[in-house]
Structure 1
Amino acid sequence: MNQDDNSIPRLARKPRLRVAMVTETFPPEINGVAMTLGRMVDGLLARGHSVQLVRPRQGPADIPRQTENFLEMLAVGVPIPGYDGLRFGLPLGGRLQQHWSDNPPDLVHVATEGPLGRSAVTVAHKLKLPVTSSFHTNFDHYSRHYGIGWLKQPVASYLKRFHNRTAATFVPTAEMARDLGQQGYANLQVLARGVDRQLFHPGRRSQSLRREWGLGPDGLAVLVVSRLAPEKNLPLALKAFQAIRALRPDARLILVGDGPARKSLAQAWPETHFAGMRSGEDLAAHYASGDLFLFPSLTETFGNVTLEAMSSALPVLAYRCAAAGEVIEDGGSGLLATPGNEAEFIAAARRLAAEPELRERLGAAARERVAPIDWERIHEHLEAIFLHIIRRHARLPGQENHFLQIVPD
């Protein structure tokens, strides 16, 4: 396991790479994995590399795009039960083998572990192409939330076999690298995620939006941004809000997002403002117009919303895990609770509601804390890892010489 950025060698002359990216989800789909993969592709293109994107077709009108340095190949997409709007891709082994035989990429990166991703790993091995992967989602942890807890161990075993077939598996935090390493995962690389501080900015605060939420000038907007799904632990957010409401009757719970649990949540939380899915500047305005941010999830591999809220100068309350556990200093740039300790989480929520000076101090510190977490640095590190793996692969017996020419010493 390699977690040290400094271990990736820098090359005197940067080559132009041809990278094949394989993913089951991609923008305009709205979720953390799609956003991260969209940023990754944009970063590679901005640095002069070429990208072939292999993904499921997102709808009847979806057609593959092609530019000078960007080409899409679309697979048949099948809806994921319980996840409206998301699909997994059917295998494309034959097409990928033909295309990559004629136009071999320098590296294949597989971002998701479904049938499409599995077929891509198999073809890469057949063609002796270097292949990497990303661990984005704790699917094995999700099983108990959907009444299929008996599948947890088989899913966990499949994920480990899948990722251990690749030259490196990217994980977003050092904590996850340690946890997966203890489970037998090999070749782990920490590749963090960034935040756009120009987009997620406190200057986007909107009084008109707050009036839409039913808030007076001094009202308290308690914000939750999440997929509305069982694994997100959202009932705890309601418990915490009820405790806040006992202190601040003028408080309003604002829930941004959508998902399979929306109907049941709306029935249970009739006074909540459901804002639905938001993106871009509209999403940024929702963050900036809140007063505190609750993040009760225990199943995240990272949690992009944590950085987005912090960049918007919101005081964040989360469990001490995933991004929050690595980025937030408890009491300095946010508040953290012991994972699974609901009483501690609720007590911290009451504290945030009761102390406006604390909210202001934590929000300002959170904004400063994420200043170094820049996407450009993440893209630079990704590029360095890819170059290192390509060069290492070229030195293996029986590999094609063109890798050595692409990545000179």
Structure 2
Amino acid sequence: MNVTSLHIALVSETFPPEVNGVANTLGRLCQGLRERGHRLQLVRPRQADDTAPNDDQLLLTRGWPLPGYAGLQWGQSSLHKLLRRWQRNRPDVLYIATEGPLGLSALRAARRLGIPVVSGFHTNFQQYSDHYGFGLLTRLLTGYLRWFHNRSRLTLVPSPSQRLELQRRGFERLELLARGVDGQLFHPARRSAALRAEWGLCEDEIAVLHVGRLAAEKNLQLLTRAFRQLQRDLPQQRLRLVLVGDGPLRAQLQAELPEALFCGVQRGEALAAHYASGDLFLFPSLSETFGNVVLEALASGLAVVAFDQAAAAQHIRHGHNGALATPGDEVAFIESARWLLEDPESLRRVRLNARQHAGKQGWPAIVERFESLLHAARDTQA
């Protein structure tokens, strides 16, 4: 089917090569839209060592470091710069991925110029405030996010559970845009005996893996408690905890888990090899809008233990291709991990089913859905 080419402006305060779920998703969406013949104009803060010039496809703004998030920035409010740019080079539709100062100025500029706006709800900032000791801000943040997104023609959310939660909080015009996974990159065939040897593991020993930011909102204290409990309950098994990623809790976790392996940030094929070389994937986070790492772990053939929400609720059938616990039920979370480790045949079967399911969750269908939603927003009367 031939689809009219769009001129799309995309505004985000994070973008590859920065490593986080929002940046990874936007990189995939932009790549897919370009491959489908659309013209993109990216607006983002200038990154460290960024030498890219401003042109019709890229507008760089100043940014300020985001406290507690090394390498990430708030984009500077750029209302007048955006007005000048879009008066001269008007996009058909605007996608705003982040709600910071840059995103807010883009929303204001678009509304002033009558440009249709689609927004994406990528991060539960209102939940993060609790983890960083700013619980009083939760209501204010929720109100701001609702105000922000309700001024767009559509707000895209990554999971049905997220859509229900936001509807309950008064968010309007919500549409589902799921996430995909690169099933060629994240594949069990990338399992590396050499890497496992570096971890000090033989093939019949168990690598318990976690991939993600080492930060308070990821509920990593449960990861620590779960691993310690598994060690106590299964003394006959050799378990090695492997953490991929970095963040403000790294030093604390290293002190609590001196025998664990901390591999830092990994990218591309190295990241894929780390996934595939694991056996069991523990994902205790309760703050995700989606959780791309769940799909990456499933595609890599790992048995995933997670809470029944976001990506896990969408892609895991308990006992078939992973294990789910009721959100917040830490006992059930640990028991699910224990069940898989105590039953090697179930572990093997779950891992095979994980790959079979996730291998079908490619990005092309997601990009096509994104494209259709952008067209719908452009064609809808304000």
TM-score, length basis structure 2? 0.97
In the alignment, residue 56 of structure 1 is paired with which amino acid?
P
DSSP 3-state at the match of 2:57: strand
Does residue 121 of structure 1 match 2:121?
no
Does residue 371 of structure 1 match 2:359?
yes
1:161-189 CA distance string (max 9 Å, x none): 00001000000011111111111101101
Residues 264-283 of structure 1 mapped to structure 2, 5 A cutoff: 264-283=252-271
Match of 2:45 in 1: 56
Structure 2 residue corresponding to 1:322, chosen from 289, 302, 310: 310
Structure 2 residue corresponding to 1:171, chosen from 151, 157, 162: 157
CA contact (8 A) 1:201 1:313 kept: yes
CA contact (8 A) 2:309 2:327 kept: yes
- Separation in 1 of the partners of 2:26 and 2:203? 39
- Separation in 2 of the partners of 1:341 and 1:284? 30
Match of 2:58 in 1: 72
Structure 2 residue corresponding to 1:38, chosen from 27, 45, 55: 27
1:352-392 CA distance string (max 9 Å, x none): 11111111100111111123311000001111111111112
Structure 2 residue corresponding to 1:189, chosen from 164, 175, 196: 175
In structure 2, runs of 5+ residues without a counterpart are none
Does residue 263 of structure 1 match 2:251?
yes
Deviation at 1:89, TM superposition (A): 0.3
DSSP 3-state at the match of 1:14: coil
- Separation in 2 of the partners of 1:105 and 1:221? 48
Match of 1:405 in 2: none
In the alignment, residue 33 of structure 1 is paired with which amino acid?
V
CA contact (8 A) 1:194 1:373 kept: yes
CA contact (8 A) 1:65 1:71 kept: no
- Separation in 2 of the partners of 1:109 and 1:249? 49
In the alignment, residue 36 of structure 1 is paired with which amino acid?
T
Structure 2 residue corresponding to 1:236, chosen from 222, 228, 238: 222
Match of 1:399 in 2: none
Structure 1 window deviating more from structure 2 (237-246 vs 173-182): it is 237-246
Does residue 355 of structure 1 match 2:330?
no
- Separation in 1 of the partners of 2:4 and 2:369? 15
Deviation at 1:251, TM superposition (A): 0.8
Structure 2 residue corresponding to 1:94, chosen from 80, 90, 94: 80
- Separation in 1 of the partners of 2:203 and 2:285? 30
Match of 1:158 in 2: 144
In the alignment, residue 48 of structure 1 is paired with which amino acid?
G
Deviation at 1:65, TM superposition (A): 5.0
Match of 1:83 in 2: 69
1:328-349 CA distance string (max 9 Å, x none): 0001110001110111111111
Structure 2 residue corresponding to 1:213, chosen from 195, 199, 220: 199
CA contact (8 A) 1:131 1:166 kept: yes
DSSP 3-state at the match of 1:377: helix
Match of 2:96 in 1: 110
Deviation at 1:249, TM superposition (A): 4.2
Match of 2:187 in 1: 201
DSSP 3-state at the match of 2:185: coil
Match of 1:22 in 2: 11
- Separation in 2 of the partners of 1:219 and 1:332? 22
DSSP 3-state at the match of 1:109: strand
Match of 2:292 in 1: 304
Deviation at 1:128, TM superposition (A): 0.3
Match of 1:3 in 2: none
Deviation at 1:63, TM superposition (A): 2.6
In the alignment, residue 293 of structure 1 is paired with which amino acid?
F
Structure 2 residue corresponding to 1:341, chosen from 329, 333, 342: 329
What stretches of structure 1 move > 6 A for 4+ residues in a row? Answer: none
DSSP 3-state at the match of 1:344: helix
- Identity over aligned pairs, percent: 50
- Separation in 1 of the partners of 2:217 and 2:240? 23
CA contact (8 A) 2:54 2:60 kept: no
In the alignment, residue 223 of structure 1 is paired with which amino acid?
L
CA contact (8 A) 2:160 2:310 kept: no
DSSP 3-state at the match of 1:149: coil
Deviation at 1:194, TM superposition (A): 0.2
Deviation at 1:243, TM superposition (A): 2.3
DSSP 3-state at the match of 2:361: coil
Deviation at 1:124, TM superposition (A): 0.2
Size of the aligned set, in residue pairs, is 380
Deviation at 1:245, TM superposition (A): 1.8
Residues 361-400 of structure 1 mapped to structure 2, 5 A cutoff: 361-393=349-381
- Separation in 1 of the partners of 2:376 and 2:203? 54
- Separation in 1 of the partners of 2:380 and 2:338? 53
- Separation in 1 of the partners of 2:237 and 2:357? 31
Deviation at 1:64, TM superposition (A): 2.8
TM-score, length basis structure 1? 0.91
Deviation at 1:13, TM superposition (A): 4.2
1:79-132 CA distance string (max 9 Å, x none): 001111110101111111011001100001000000000000000000000011
Deviation at 1:72, TM superposition (A): 1.1
- Separation in 2 of the partners of 1:103 and 1:201? 42
In structure 1, runs of 5+ residues without a counterpart are 1-11, 397-409
CA contact (8 A) 2:62 2:75 kept: yes
